């Protein structure tokens, strides 16, 4: 760890920024340039050591940002309660400042990069007064992997530093790789809450009025101001690993996708790897960690949120998980839905915006522990909600914020695949696209070919969730589950997917599938049991890869032939309902959808490849003749 104060560093060669643990001029010059703008009281170069982590956590406990959780239940774990105005990604205040509006495309908020930088420079100027500037070198992906990429985040949030420590390979070793490469994604983050001399700090500093999450794709820069929460602030995640990386991937022939990666081993069979794209809060973490309900099948986790995929010399598509931890949604995580996640939360966790049992409650056994909706049937009592206020079970507000999170090292999950950090990546045999749709979309549909699969990915839609600020439960089109995460024009993004389909032989391309776990009956109950039963769909997918399961042709694509999806052990009535409602295509209702799908593709702008409209025409014809 190396911290210097402004006074000390003023007396030194300015380019060395105090006790910098690097001699890389590009790094030093960049940090120095920003030190001058941000005007922190001190600069701290993060080394990523456990001592540094502990010290920052202790400092945050002293400052009231962190509450230490009962070490008997979760050793070395902490709770943070955010400012209630800073609880989710803010898509309205997120910008892709590409050179032209057209390059950002119709699905992104665009700003002129020069103007945006000018405005933000004014905000960043002096923004770290009274605070420490942390320099956080990090690697996305296993250190040294040819698929990995490097970045440095400047931040004034120790909460962000410790989360980055869990979520990325952070510190001295990443810095060594950056020195060797001379290249890194430049990430600047400030809470936008400078402190005047003697001014007392607050537990969760932020600046919601001036919040701005800006991406400059041409120069591979991220400037984030005013928020300390999740994807707004942990810049390795959505900002780098999806928005900036999607641009790098387009330029360099690879893919950066909002996908989990799992390994599945059939009984006595060969392990296969599947990637799956779902919008935020549609069960990616649960699926990546599932405990299959069908005997003999084993699922292991490689990643739960992001996949970077590149073709190997053998023509196969290989994926790495660029992250090193899970930043999972806590509410709903339970022994029933995700026992592996609960086991991963043994210790070394950061909980944000969950409920907690009060400290030192007299004679109360579970004092100082965390809780969220569904963790247990009966909430513990007494309980404090995510505002830190006394909560009663008859309250009309949830105890944990719906976007409350846990941050935990991925290696702690008992289901982690032993090869999850293999620098080569894992070979992907199938890719699934899934949304949260109460109607119409069948349980599983196999695409006829790559181009048809790209069409299915492009017309994906889903109900909105609490992961982003704004209305919840509204259906929106979310192509490839990347709507909030594409760093460039969506039409070009779809064209890139089509090009990827020409990068290898058709037999070596992953098979593409469309899934939906979220169909509801007339009483608004989910029909499909989900969770461990999703393994039944995974089994069918694997059997399609192996060529052993039957499919039936429908206008939408290939659905499981009667009895080819393993429904054994599910009660007869539900089996019938699944077969009748979830494994069929209703041509009439889909014919009604056609104009909406056409309008959607048109709204994606004039860079959408013609082939997508051809696919829509073919679907229309197939529906008419069905």
* Chain residues in the site for ligand OXD (CB under 6 A): 89, 230-231, 280, 305, 327, 467
Residue 296 C-beta: closest distance to ligand OXD, Å: 31
Q: Among residues 82 and 280, whose Cβ is nearest to Mn ion? A: 280
Q: Among residues 52 and 305, whose Cβ is nearest to Mn ion? A: 305
Calculate the CA 195 to chain-centre distance: 32
Q: Which does 327 bind (CB under 5 to 8 A by kind): ligand OXD, Mn ion, none?
A: ligand OXD
Q: Which does 325 bind (CB under 5 to 8 A by kind): ligand OXD, Mn ion, none?
A: none
Q: Which does 400 bind (CB under 5 to 8 A by kind): ligand OXD, Mn ion, none?
A: none
Q: Among residues 230 and 332, whose Cβ is nearest to ligand OXD? A: 230
Site track 261-280 with Mn ion (rule: CB under 5 A), x = hit: -------------------x
- 357 secondary structure, DSSP code: P
Distance CA 560, CA 544 (A): 10
Q: Among residues 226 and 325, whose Cβ is nearest to ligand OXD? A: 325
Q: Which does 536 bind (CB under 5 to 8 A by kind): Mn ion, ligand OXD, none?
A: none
Q: Among residues 175 and 290, whose Cβ is nearest to ligand OXD? A: 290
Distance CA 128, CA 135 (A): 13
Dihedral sign for Cα atoms in the order 423, 424, 428, 429 = negative
**465 forms part of the interface with Mn ion (CB under 5 A):** no
Degrees to nearest 5, angle at CA 31 with 161 and 138:
40
**246 forms part of the interface with Mn ion (CB under 5 A):** no
Q: Is the peptide bond before 382 cis (omega within 30 degrees of 0)?
A: yes
Residue 484 C-beta: closest distance to ligand OXD, Å: 8
Q: Among residues 280 and 461, whose Cβ is nearest to ligand OXD? A: 280
How many beta carbons lie within 10 A of that of residue 584, not counting itself? 14
Residue nearest to ligand OXD (CB): 280
Distance CA 474, CA 257 (A): 23
Q: Which does 254 bind (CB under 5 to 8 A by kind): Mn ion, ligand OXD, none?
A: none
Residue 485 C-beta: closest distance to Mn ion, Å: 8
Residue 364 vs residues 358, 361, 368, 381: alpha-carbon distances, Å: 9, 5, 10, 9
Percentages helix, strand, coil for the chain (3-state, rounded to 5) are: 30, 20, 45
User: How long, in residues, is the chain?
Assistant: 626
Residue 457 C-beta: closest distance to ligand OXD, Å: 17
Binding segment for Mn ion among 10-18, 300-308, 314-322, 395-403 (CB under 5 A)? 300-308
Dihedral sign for Cα atoms in the order 548, 549, 552, 557 = negative
**352 forms part of the interface with Mn ion (CB under 5 A):** no
Binding Mn ion (rule: CB under 5 A), the pick from 305, 368, 451, 463 is 305
Best CA proximity match to 308, nearest among 251, 271, 260: 260
Q: Among residues 191 and 260, whose Cβ is nearest to ligand OXD? A: 260
Residue 230 C-beta: closest distance to ligand OXD, Å: 6
Distance CA 171, CA 258 (A): 25
- What does the block give as tokens for 9? 């560093």
Beta bridge partners of 361: none
Distance CA 521, CA 623 (A): 24
What are the φ and ψ backbone dihedral angles of 594, each rounded to 5 degrees? -55, -50
Site for Mn ion in 277-296 (CB under 5 A): 280
- Say how many residues touch Mn ion, by CB under 5 A: 2
Best CA proximity match to 322, nearest among 299, 335, 306, 337: 306
Q: How far apart are the first and last CA of the chain?
A: 68
Active-site residue (options: 139, 206, 282, 349): 282
**533 forms part of the interface with Mn ion (CB under 5 A):** no
- What does the block give as tokens for 347? 């210790």
Residue 231 C-beta: closest distance to ligand OXD, Å: 5
Is 57 annotated in the active site?
no
Residue 265 C-beta: closest distance to ligand OXD, Å: 26
Which residues are catalytic, by number? 282
Q: What are the residues binding Mn ion (CB under 5 A)?
A: 280, 305
């Amino acid at each position: 760890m190396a911290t210097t104060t402004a006074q000390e560093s003023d007396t030194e060669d300015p380019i060395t920024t105090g006790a910098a643990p690097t001699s890389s001029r590009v790094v030093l010059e960049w940090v120095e340039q920003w030190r001058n703008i941000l005007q922190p009281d001190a600069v701290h170069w993060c080394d990523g050591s456990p001592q540094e982590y502990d010290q920052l956590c202790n400092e945050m406990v002293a400052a009231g940002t962190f509450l230490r959780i009962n070490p008997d239940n979760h050793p070395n774990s902490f709770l943070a309660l955010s400012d209630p105005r800073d609880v989710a990604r803010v898509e309205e205040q997120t910008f892709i400042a590409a050179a032209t509006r057209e390059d950002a495309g119709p699905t992104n908020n665009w700003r002129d990069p020069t103007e945006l930088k000018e405005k933000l420079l004014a905000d960043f100027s002096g923004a770290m007064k009274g605070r420490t500037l942390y320099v956080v070198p990090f690697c996305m992906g296993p250190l040294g992997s040819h698929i990995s990429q490097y970045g440095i985040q400047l931040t004034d949030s120790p909460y962000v530093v410790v989360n980055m420590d869990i979520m990325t390979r952070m510190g001295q070793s990443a810095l060594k790789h950056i020195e060797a490469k001379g290249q890194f994604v430049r990430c600047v983050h400030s809470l936008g809450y400078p402190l005047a001399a003697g001014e007392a700090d607050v537990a969760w500093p932020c600046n919601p009025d001036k919040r701005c999450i800006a991406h400059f794709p041409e120069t591979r820069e991220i400037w984030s101001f005013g928020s300390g929460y999740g994807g707004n602030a942990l810049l390795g995640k959505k900002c780098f690993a999806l928005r900036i990386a999607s641009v790098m991937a387009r330029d360099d022939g690879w893919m950066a996708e909002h996908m989990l990666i799992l390994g599945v081993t059939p009984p006595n069979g060969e392990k296969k790897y599947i990637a799956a794209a779902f919008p935020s809060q549609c069960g990616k973490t649960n699926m990546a960690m599932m405990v299959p309900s069908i005997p003999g099948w084993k699922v292991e986790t490689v990643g739960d949120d992001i996949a970077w995929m590149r073709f190997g010399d053998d023509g196969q598509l290989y994926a790495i998980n660029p992250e090193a931890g899970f930043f999972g949604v806590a509410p709903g995580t339970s022994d029933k839905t995700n026992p592996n996640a609960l086991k991963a939360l043994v210790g070394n966790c950061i909980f944000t915006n969950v409920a907690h049992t009060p400290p030192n409650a007299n004679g109360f056994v579970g004092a100082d522990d965390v809780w969220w909706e569904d963790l247990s049937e009966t909430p513990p009592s007494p309980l404090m909600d995510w505002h830190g206020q006394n909560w009663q079970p008859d309250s009309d507000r949830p105890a944990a914020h719906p976007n409350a999170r846990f941050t935990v090292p991925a290696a702690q999950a008992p289901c982690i695949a032993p090869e999850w950090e293999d620098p080569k990546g894992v070979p992907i045999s199938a890719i699934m696209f899934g949304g949260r749709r109460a109607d119409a979309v069948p349980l599983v549909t196999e695409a006829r070919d790559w181009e048809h699969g790209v069409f299915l990915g492009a017309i994906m839609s889903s109900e909105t969730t609490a992961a982003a600020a704004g209305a919840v439960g509204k259906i929106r089109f979310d192509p490839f589950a990347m709507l909030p995460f594409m760093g460039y024009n969506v039409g070009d993004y779809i064209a890139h997917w089509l090009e990827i389909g020409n990068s290898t032989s058709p037999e070596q391309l992953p098979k593409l599938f469309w899934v939906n776990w979220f169909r509801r009956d007339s009483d608004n109950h989910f029909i499909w049991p989900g969770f461990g039963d999703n393994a039944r769909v995974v089994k069918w997918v694997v059997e399609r890869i192996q060529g052993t399961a039957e499919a039936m042709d429908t206008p939408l694509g290939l659905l499981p032939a009667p009895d080819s999806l393993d429904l054994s052990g599910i009660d007869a009535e539900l089996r019938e309902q699944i077969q009748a409602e979830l494994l069929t295509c209703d041509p009439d209702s889909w014919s009604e959808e056609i104009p909406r799908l056409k309008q959607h593709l048109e709204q994606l702008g004039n860079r959408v490849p013609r082939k997508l409209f051809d696919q829509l025409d073919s679907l229309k014809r197939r529906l008419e003749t069905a």
